[in-house]
Structure 1
Amino acid sequence: MEETKDLIPLQPPEIAILKRCRSAFCQVLQEEFGCTAQIHNVEDDSLSPFLTSKASIVSEIKYSKQVARQLKVSVWKGDLTNHKVDAVVNPANEHLNHGGGLALALSLAGGYMIQQMSNEIIKHKGKLLTGEAVLTPAGDLPCKMIIHAVGPCVSRSPSKTELDSASQLLNNTIWNILMKVDYERLESVAIPAISSGLFNFPLPKCADVIVKALKLYSEKRNPGARNLEVRLVNIDDPSVQHMERACLQFLGPSDTKPKQNQGNSSAQSSIASLNLGNVTLHLKKGAIENERTDVIVNTIGADLDLSSGQVSAAILNKAGRRIQEEIRSLKFGYISEGDIIPTTGHNLDCKEVYHTVCGSNRATGKMVQQILYSVVTNCLEIASSKSHSSMSFPALGTGNLGLDKDEVSHIMTNAVVEFSKNYKGSKMLIYFVIFPKDTQTLKAFEKKITSTKGRLQNTSSTNSKSSGFQDSQDVTTEPNIELFASSKTAIREAKRWCYEMLHLSSSSQCKTIYNNHVVHLSQEDHKKLMTLQRSFGVIITEFIKEGKGGVIINGDPHGILCAALEVEAMLCKAQEDFARDEERYMWADLEQMFPADEIEKMSNRLYKKTAIDLNMKDSEVKQRVKTFEKFGLTIEKMEKIENYALNQLFKLNSKRIKPHHKPLYQRVKAQFCDLICRVGFQREYAPPKEQACGAGIYFTTEADEAFTLWEDNGEEYIYFIEAQVLTGKQTSGSTDLIVPPLIGTDPLVRYNSVMNKKGIHVIFNGQHAYPERIITCTEKKSFI
């Protein structure tokens, strides 16, 4: 389907809100409406790290010292959840219950297996002693493993005796971490300020103990040991400053001047640059293997031998032999020109390496040009799809292939310019990195970038659209929001939501957000709610009443709207985490019922929605159109839902429970349509106005009955899910039910569902219904 877009101009009050809550605003639009938002000409002034996206947190090195021949110690300001090292240290408690602080952040970023593996350790080993360290896999974190270390916990105002005792325990903790690192033959480890946060250990003393332990370790370490870098990584300035101070005091001055890492390559060394909206192209001198960007692009031959060619050999030398092993394990069979093989960065300072096959002896002339252009374009597209924000290219094809330097500069620059025209993500930095001694290639690229910059400036100044670079509405310098979505319905819903979330009358001192996922907020989320109260000067109250939950925010209009955006973003995350849990439960059920090969086939069949032509001569479609018209509704769109895994579970249940004789309906909010397609019906998604038949999942026999059962939520469209429902043996419902009532005296024999005389049917298990269609409607206006 062709993408649609719209532009929303911004006024000063709205700009003030988006300056503080830009990330949350964009996150909710994406999660609830599948809508991408670009906010133009508005500065980002977010309040704190947890209110901003992870992509904006760039690791920065503050101190680096080679304290022994094989040991380097460095101090970093950065986020441990995306810091690239062999192992990160988690400041855990004795029960490995990662319920707060950095431990929770690492557990959430690494996925459910982190807590699962930790639980297994406690189950077999019992609680850990202070000073102990254990290992688990890293899950989704960009490292090989996590070292869970239990530091000492002290009282809020510890005595000297208590602090001296705790200092020895903290020293033991650091030594146990280092012993694990040596035993596992790791080459880098990131250690935070253990015990200084929730465990109350004074930060200055904490830094002193950790650095002194590292100094003693360097003196006692075997001279023949492998190279190791110990990184002291913290996200807050006080911890970073005290670690740097302690290193200067006990280890001496830094060997190198601090510089940024693991984010953007240094733009200060840029020879020429080209601003292309959300894409900026820089030309710089340097060695490609030393780049510090999310992605480094490499060029290889069809034999996949990284030792052949100057660029790939340099990358192999720094990355290590494992990168060669990985690339051979990923690619089998015939290698063709234009192939791109992504691998991890290994010892390079990047997240991924894209190995590109730009040509061979068989490819010549125009064919090589086309291959090179498509390689650059495809690398950019892949990086964009993975939300990478920076990447570095060498001068592709100028080495072994011997392509003309002017020609390569034209092809690569033009590919970036064309890519930027349709790019709608967050800021992306692209670097063309030329080897310093290759002056001819450097001049060719500088000439091309400079001429392109002049051409685009001229085009912009004459307001010409001939280049196709921007639509006339895009060149405005006024603050605005540009929305992109796959349908007009999504755009309209997103615009309505934007207006609702950015406007509140000056007399209003309260805003209510209804979302039953409030019950799934974590302990850390509740701490964030308290922080939001202080940051925006509001009072936030959670409520659960008569089957409905949500949040009430009281305060001044500006503070209310800022807090509301952040709360909406938290609830979006909660409902996504809930959906992922439901998916895991769903697959766990299937794994018990089907053989492994059948499960593998199912996992390759994700859910999909297919638009149904409303003009077709299908009798069922015509019947639905007429039925809805009778109720004063116009069907704007109808989509067929296909979810193979959900359908298999439904079929299994239908062997023992009889389905209702006709499809039933549920009215839902726009944000829950896709979630129902993914994980089926849940109590959280569509609570009715009144739960007269119990706390279950409600359906109606006719669409018009939904108007009295569910409240009008003020959306642009009305959304119905048509479903097959296993009602089975039914009885009358009542408000106190949380499961169907007993049929007789046997506590294991219950009714399958409940109902009332108004055509309402209630089930208590989401797997007893299968969503078949999404019907999007508008209400016909009546004129008197």
Structure 2
Amino acid sequence: MASKSDFPVPRSSVNIVKEYRAALSDILNTKFGCVATFDGVDFESELNVAKHGGPAIVPERRVGVTLPSGVQVSVWKGDLTSFSVDAVVNAANIRLEHLGGLAQALSSAGGPKIQRESGDYVYRHGPLTTGDAVVFDAGLLPCKKIIHAVGPELPHYPSTHDVFKAEPLLQKVICSILDRVKEQHLSTVAIPAISSGLFNYPRSECAKTIVSTVKQYYEYVQHGHRPKEIFLMNNDEPTVKEMEGAFHHIFAPSTMTYSQATAKNTRSATKTSPTIQVANVRVTLKKDKIEEQRTDVIVNTASPNRNLREGEISKAISMKAGEGMQKEMYSAHSTGNIVITKGYKLNCSEVYHTLCMSKDQPAAHQFLFTSVFECLCMAAANHRNSIAFPAIGTGNLGFSKKEVARMMLDAVHNFTQTHQTKMDVYFIIFPSDRETFQAFEEQMRSYQPSASHSSFAPAAAVDRSDIHSSRGSTPRISLCGPSRESTAEAEKWLTDLFASSSFDIHNNLILHWGEEEHQQLSRLTKGGVSIEEFFTQGHACVTVKGFSRGEAADAVLQVEAMLCNIQRELISEGEREISMLSDTKVSSERLTVDHSRPDFTDRVPTFKKQNLRILKVEKVKNPALQVLFDLKKDQLHCSATQTMFQLIPAQFCEMISRIGFHAECAPPEDPAYGEGIYFAHTLKRAMDLWRQKKEEYLYFVEAEVLMGNATPGKRGLILPPPVGSDADVLYDSVTGGGDISVIFSGYQALPKYIITCKRRDE
């Protein structure tokens, strides 16, 4: 069940929060699954300035179309240095020297890695030629890759003949970019008007060539990977206008602008599904039935007595879902003014039931706004990518259609101001409700964030008794996590971060650090901070010390951010490998087991014997990992599996459920039987093998393990030893002391349950 809490920020640490808001949000989400919002902290205006200078541009979608191949192409006004996509394209020169224009902006925002990798490439391979495109890591940019593409360079005042000669070269570089997109299996890429700036290609001709080349590429390239969307993005209005004009000319009459779409009748508007982009959130308006949506989350408006047969929306959702939802509704705990239940027969994972109040009650507007905001926060905290809302409050609650549309859009905007999460948000209007659809349509077309709602208290649970009171100016970080344990872990970490000038970070992902990370550590030590990295008995640790708490916290956040980046990369690489080997789409779920079910009650006595109280049991479902586990079972000719345990840090629960077991997640206290993945046959042995240092919560993974042909292990093994004289025939696993097993392939174990506990004497 989702949990929320407020963490007061010490006044002495406010400047750290100001400077590292994005890093703090990322770390809290990666380590603890918590979405963080910040209240009472006056973020300076310079933090909203793009890294290359000038005011930040809110991404704005102008026009788009879906090609017959399924690829979406759209024109945007936005800032490539802050746009979150799989890859951004840089307009580079042949020597990859990023000294001006967009190249300099991207290089500055991405950090020294951008220019360093570019220089290394040219040193090894020589200069590029016009039309080439190469792919590197994106450094500190909010994307995975940067594609450096070399377009044609024209004279300052190009003639018609100059443009004629340059056109095939511009076509070539666009094709090279799209080739790299295909090779790298990228889903989204943002492309600027290459050559139109410092390289003097006339804007109008440049726009027409780029748009037509993208269109032709996906008409004639029928095989291989296709991306989800191509963003044609620029930050200056004249270039964006030229792109729009070229788009309409080349795709007409198959596309229309948003304003053109809304000028059509209701039936036509329904087909075009009006969409706007608010930072990382895509908002789509649809005419449909809310109970028919295929999203991760469906939002319902329920009466305070939780009777789902009251209200048209609630009744429709309840009838489609079945009786189980009403039963759970009566017993489920509320978080703020929201009750979460399973989706049952609906095509969603969860339903968020908002317990809203009618318009004539005090502070009803703020209450409605907060309900929408909290639903978005909970969806982000629970790693949901899509959510469908009805037009909350337009029925019996008495709100006008226009004000509801406005408040719901403002809630989305406020969510994007404090969250980095990508999400698809759908506003679902009943098919015959033309007036509500038009009200939402008009608000979306002319939307600008409303100052009247920017000061709402979005992240705290609303209490009717103090809904009039101001939250004041006390700095705080509001945490919304998947459970009380997750928010408690996050609070403890924040307390330690702000309270001490010495900090120990135990994490075996440190072993993945390379030259770049060690150079960053070296830079950190120049400011009065000492950093010691050491490795002992299978455990990697970094100790950070500063002359002040502020200096130490500054360095700790940068170190933790490095580790979070590595964890994300490992998960991404792991999911790609699992998908390729299993030929199965990778998906994972952690389903909370009801306390009354045998999955929960049967485990209670075993844990009680170790003085542990079970707080939560989650069943892990990952079909792709199951396929690989079954393949491994056949490969080892091993029909029998054994139930075993690991005791892991909270940070790795999600990682293990998504990509399975890795040695870095649970290094034992002493790796006496090899450098593999350790499992204990009993809970008691697990607690000896992984000694937790005064942790409030303990996280056990229960797994099925394939031992196969096993032999006693010994220190230093990185693979099982040979069975006999043939060095190519190895044992399948090793053992230690009879109640410890070590495997060397993560696919020999399948996570089945994650069990959260607390010591009974606490």
Q: Is TM-score (shorter-chain normalized) higher than 0.5?
A: yes
Contact 2:80-2:234 at 8 Å conserved across structures: no
Q: Is the 8 A contact 1:752 1:763 kept in 2?
A: yes
How far residue 651 of structure 1 moved from its aligned partner, in angstroms, is 0.5
Structure 2 vs 1, CA of residues 542 and 229 (structure 1 numbering), >3 Å: closer, same or farther?
farther
Match of 1:553 among 522, 544, 561: 544
Shift in Å, 1:84: 13
Structure-1 separation of matches of 2:48 and 2:87: 21
The 8 Å contact of residues 188 and 229 in structure 1, kept in 2 or not, is answered as no
Q: Is the 8 A contact 1:421 1:470 kept in 2?
A: no
1:88 lines up with 2:84 in the alignment: no
For 1:34, give the aligned amino acid: G
Equivalent in the alignment of 1:542: 533
Q: Please give the secondary structure, in 2, of the residue aligned with 1:663.
A: strand
**Residue from 711, 715, 737 that aligns with 1:757:** 737
> Which of the residues 627, 633, 638 maps onto 2:612?
633
Aligned positions of 1:157-172 closer than 5 A: none
Aligned to 2:304: none
Q: Which residue of the partner structure matches residue 780 of structure 1?
A: 760
Matched, 1:652 2:621: no
| Aligned counterpart, 1:478 | 474
Count how many residue pairs are aligned between Structure 1 and Structure 2. 554
Q: Could you say which residue in structure 2 is the equivalent of 1:134? A: 132
Bigger mean CA deviation after superposition, 37-46 or 688-697 = 37-46
- Cα displacement string for residues 342-383 of structure 1 (whole angstroms, at most 9, x for unaligned residues): 7799xxx99998675679xxxxxxx9xxxxx99xx9999999
Q: Which amino acid aligns with 1:626?
A: P
Report the alpha carbon displacement of residue 5 of structure 1 after superposing the two structures with TM: 1.2
- For residue 741 of structure 1, give the secondary structure of its aligned residue in structure 2: coil
* Superimposed CA distance per residue, residues 119-162 of structure 1 (whole angstroms, 9 cap, x where no aligned partner): 9x99xxx93446665136899999999444599xxxxxxxxxxx
Q: Distance in 2 between matches of 1:380 and 1:624?
A: 34
Q: Deviations over 1:664-706 (max 9, x none)?
A: 0000011100100000000111111110011000000111112
Taking a change above 3 Å as real, the CA distance of residues 355 and 761 of structure 1, as seen in their structure-2 partners, is: closer
Change (3 A) 1:225 1:663: closer
Q: CA deviation at 1:412?
A: 3.0
Shift of residue 87 of structure 1? Answer: 5.1
| TM-score, normalised relative to structure 2 | 0.58
Distance in 2 (CA, whole Å) between partners of 1:666 and 1:709 is: 9
Match of 1:58 in 2: 56
- 2:335 aligns with none
Structure 2: distance between partners of 1:44 and 1:544: 39
For 2:170, give the aligned amino acid. Answer: E
State the Cα distance separating 1:318 from its structure 2 match.
7.0
Matched, 1:79 2:81: yes
Match among 705, 717, 721 for residue 741 of structure 1 = 721
**Residues 756 and 148 of structure 1: CA distance in aligned 2, closer, same or farther (over 3 Å):** same
Deviation at 1:737, TM superposition (A): 0.4
Give, in angstroms, the shift of residue 102 of structure 1.
6.1
Other-structure match for 1:711: 691
Q: How far is the alpha carbon of 1:93 from its aligned partner?
A: 6.8
| Partner in structure 2 of residue 415 of structure 1 | 405
- The residue identity in structure 2 corresponding to 1:412 is K
Kept after mapping to 1: 8 A contact 2:645/2:703: yes
> How far off its partner does 1:714 sit?
3.9
Distance 1:722 1:214, change over 3 A: closer
- Establish whether residue 8 from structure 1 lines up as the match of residue 7 from structure 2: yes
Normalising by structure 1, report the TM-score.
Answer: 0.57
Q: Name the SS of the counterpart of 1:425 in structure 2.
A: helix
Question: 1:607 matched to which residue of 2?
Answer: 588
Q: Do 1:342 and 1:352's aligned partners in 2 also have CA atoms closer than 8 Å? A: no
Look up the SS of the partner of 2:595 in the other structure.
coil
Deviations 1:428-483 (A, max 9, x none): 89xxxxxxxxxxx9xx99xxx9xx989999x99xxxx89x7984786232111211
In structure 2, the residue corresponding to 1:778 is in which secondary structure?
strand
Is 2:273 the counterpart of 1:341?
Answer: yes
The answer to whether the 8 A contact 2:131-2:172 is kept is: no
Q: Which residue of 1 aligns with 2:520?
A: 528
C-alpha separation in 2, matches of 1:701 and 1:291? 65
CA–CA distance in structure 2, aligned partners of residues 384 and 503 of structure 1: 29
Tell me the secondary structure at the aligned position of residue 510 of structure 2. helix
* Partner Cα distance (1:522, 1:101) in 2: 26
Partner of 1:160: none
Q: Which amino acid aligns with 2:741?
A: H
C-alpha spacing 1:45/1:355, structure 2 compared with 1 (3 Å): closer
What is the CA distance between 1:544 and its match in structure 2?
3.2
Matches within 5 A, 1:184-223: 184-185=170-171
Partner-residue secondary structure (3-state), 2:132: strand
Q: Distance in 2 between matches of 1:771 and 1:56?
A: 49
Same amino acid, percent of matched pairs: 24
Q: Which one of the candidate residues 667, 670, 678 is aligned to 2:658?
A: 678
Distance 1:84 1:742 in 2: 43
Q: CA deviation at 1:38?
A: 1.3
- Cα deviation, residue 419, structure 1: 5.6
1:711 to partner: Cα distance: 2.5
Question: In structure 2, the residue corresponding to 1:490 is in which secondary structure?
Answer: helix
1:171 aligns with none
- Is residue 427 from structure 1 mapped to residue 406 from structure 2 by the alignment? no
Instruction: Write the distance in 2 (CA, Å) between the matches of 1:178 and 1:39.
Output: 54
- The 5 A counterparts of 1:504-515 are 504=500, 508=501, 510-515=502-507
User: Offset of 1:653 from its aligned partner?
Assistant: 0.7
Counterparts in 2 of 1:354-369, with a 5 A limit? 356=285
Tell me by how many angstroms 1:490 deviates: 1.5
Partner-residue secondary structure (3-state), 2:24: helix
Task: State the AA in 1 paired with 2:16.
Answer: I
Task: Measure, in 2, the Cα distance between the counterparts of 1:746 and 1:413.
Answer: 76
The CA deviation string for residues 167-189 of structure 1, in whole angstroms up to 9 with x for no partner, is: xxxxxxxxx99977753349999
1:720 aligned partner, one-letter code: F
Quickly say closer, same or farther: Cα 1:109–1:428, change in 2 above 3 A. farther
Aligned-residue offset at 1:533: 3.3
Tell me, yes or no, if the aligned pair for 1:133 and 1:177 is still in contact at 8 Å.
no
| Aligned pairs (5 A) from 1:571-586 | 571-586=563-578
Give the match for residue 44 of structure 1: 43
What secondary structure sits across from 2:673 in the alignment? Answer: coil
Secondary structure (helix, strand or coil) at the match of 2:534 reads strand
Instruction: Decide whether aligned partners of structure 1 residues 753 and 321 sit closer, same or farther in structure 2, where only a CA change above 3 A counts.
Output: same
Residue 31 to residue 327, structure 1, CA distance change in 2 (3 Å): farther
Deviation at residue 755 of structure 1 after TM alignment: 0.9
Report 1:211-360 matches (<5 A): 321-322=250-251, 325=254, 341=273, 356=285
Q: Secondary structure at the residue paired with 2:478?
A: strand
How far residue 105 of structure 1 moved from its aligned partner, in angstroms, is 8.3
Listed as ranges, the gaps of 5+ residues in structure 1 are 62-75, 152-175, 190-209, 231-260, 266-288, 294-313, 360-366, 368-372, 388-408, 430-440, 591-598
Letter in 1 for 2:530: I
Question: In the TM superposition, what whole-angstrom CA distance separates every residue of 1:46-96 from its partner, at most 9, and x where no partner exists?
Answer: 99999x9999982599xxxxxxxxxxxxxx99728769999522568799x
The 8 Å contact of residues 187 and 227 in structure 1, kept in 2 or not, is answered as no
For residues 383 and 18 of structure 1, the distance between their equivalents in structure 2, rounded to whole angstroms, comes to 20
Q: 1:49 to 1:713 in 2, by over 3 A?
A: farther
DSSP 3-state at the match of 2:415: coil
Q: 1:756 deviation in Å? A: 1.4
1:90/1:106 contact within 8 Å kept: no
Larger Rg: 1
Q: How far apart, CA to CA, are the structure 2 residues paired with 1:143 and 1:762?
A: 34
Inter-CA distance 637–519: structure 2 relative to 1 (3 Å threshold)? same
**Deviation (angstroms), 1:499:** 1.1
- Counterpart of 1:27 in structure 2 is 26
Preserved CA contact (<8 Å) 2:528 2:551: yes
Distance 2:163 2:628 in 1: 46
Alpha-carbon distance, 1:742 to partner: 0.7
For the residues of structure 1 that align with 2:601 and 2:567, how far apart are their CA atoms? 35
- Indicate how the Cα distance of structure 1 residues 224 and 81 shifts in structure 2: closer, same or farther if over 3 A, else same: closer
The alignment partner of 2:642 has SS state of coil
